[in-house]
Amino acid sequence: MKNPKDSRRGFIKKSLTASAALSLGGVLPTFGAKSYRNILGANERIKVAVMGVNSRGLALALNFASQPNAEVLHICEVDKHAAEKCIAAVSDAQQNRPKDTPDFRKSLEDKELDVLVVAAPDHWHAPAAILACKAGKDVYLEKPASHNPHEGELLLKATDKYKRIIQMGNQRRSWPHVVEAIKALHAGVIGRPYMAKTWYSNNRAPIGIGKKVPVPQHLDYDLWQGPAPREDYRDNIIHYNWHWFWNWGTGEALNNGTHMVDLARWGLQVDYPTKVSSAGGRYHYQDDWETPDTQIINLEFENKSLITWEGRSCNGLNVEGSSVGVIFYGEEGAIKIDGGNNYSILDRQNKVVKEVKYDRPVDPRNLSDPTHELDSIHIQNMFDAIRKGTPLAADIYGGQTSTLLVQLGNIAQRVGRSLDIDTKTGHILNNPEAQQYWSREYEPGWEPSV
């Protein structure tokens, strides 16, 4: 007997031929996303659940809710206060109230659900995406793809086994001017590119010394920790500072470095490095922060090319006029892509020969929503992949490769020496100490599996 969910998916794929126009907000001046939503009807919309909506997830929930061909069915948030805020905002955006489903696993039981959006902390990224694949759902997965390399490998196996679509949250792969810049690079506008410098800077405050306090009544701390080994609740972890603890987070390298290293890898057309090194540490403040606040990662490749990542969490001085960016150095010049949808091409005499600017502001230091409009293009690309088989701008295979590069940088940092890498697999060679960081320990009963 034919599965009714499959029939609905097939109908979605055959309909919405004007999706390109829809992604721009409508083909008629008087029609907005809500008007088109009414025209399309409920059965033609892609149904979404959003997991983790305190910060970035709130912005994503609103963005998905504002898409004319989507509907947010579930808000999955372990903090009741954050859930209530998001549900109210989404209800207003789509004129339909989503369900309050704190445990995202319950949302995966909904036969109407098409996509799980994962914006929870890093330790949940791969395990949640794997469970979604098992449940027959597609996934929009915020960076990084995984907390550790082993989880990334499991995620790729799940993608293949269950034949699911996973769009990585490397949104810049869909930004038009960034795409244009990479195409020019590949066309040889600066000759052979052989080095990519990437960076991120910010002025993050200290997080202090946490105190053990009772878990707030509005927070399900056990579900928040999920697959991570249990630690006592402290008053300086949730909601953002978990990034700086190895048990749940991955530091600035994967928090922001993943985006720019992904562009560098895309531009240089490389996959796995031959050698990885890292220098840095917690230099600025003396507090509970465990991951580096200052870090430089070097990634060397077989084709005589190099990627560098410079992260400064506690000194926001810009590089080349931008808090975040990538510069490609080539035989005949350089291409600079800043934190917005802008790029410049320079010759070897440092003369700007072409400059392309986006006419709307982008704030790369905005923790939740640097650019709503540009991210919509990325979302619509995923919808086109679901409906029409369009190639993903940021599939999980490339996304996990880029994630692995900065994971290897963090491993080199933690063992205090450079790593030799198998260029065919990305695995660490002849280093048992470093290999210990390839995976992690899990809370018993929460281990991810394919």
How high is the pLDDT of residue 362? 73
Average pLDDT of the chain is: 91
Find tokens 């005949």 and name the residue.
Answer: 332
- Three-state SS for the chain is CCCHHHHHHHHHHHCCCCHHHHCCCCCCCCCCHHHHHHHHCHHHCEEEEEECCCCHHHHHHHHHHHCCCEEEEEEECCEHHHHHHHHHHHHHHHCCCCEECCCHHHHCCCCCCCEEEECCCHHHHHHHHHHHHHCCCEEEECCCCCCCHHHHHHHHHHHHHHCCCEEECCHHHHCHHHHHHHHHHHCCECECEEEEEEEEECECCCCCCCCECCCCCCECHHHHHCCCCCCCCECCCCCCHHHHCCCCCCHHHHHCHHHHHHHHHHHHCCCCCCEEEEEEECCCCCCCCCCCCEEEEEEEECCCEEEEEEEECECCCCECCECEEEEEEECCEEEEECCCCCEEEECCCCCEEEEECCCCCCCCCCCCCCCHHHHHHHHHHHHHHHHHCCCCCCEHHHHHHHHHHHHHHHHHHHHCCCEEECCCCCCECCCHHHHCCCCCCCCCCCCCCC
Comparing C-alpha atoms, which of 123, 103, 61 is closest to residue 86?
A: 61
Domains of the chain: 4-172+376-388 (3.40.50.720), 174-364+396-435 (3.30.360.10)
pLDDT tens-digit readout, 114-132: 999 999 999 999 999 999 9
Predicted structure pTM score: 0.90
17: buried, middle or exposed (CB in 10 Å: 19+, 13-18, 0-12)?
exposed
How high is the pLDDT of residue 243? 98
* Main-chain phi, psi angles of 254, to 5 degrees: -95, -25
Low-confidence ranges of the chain (pLDDT < 70): 1-43, 364-370
CB atoms within 10 A of CB 232: 10
How high is the pLDDT of residue 368? 55
How high is the pLDDT of residue 71? 97
How high is the pLDDT of residue 2? 41
HSE-up of 310 (CA within 13 Å, CB side)?
A: 18
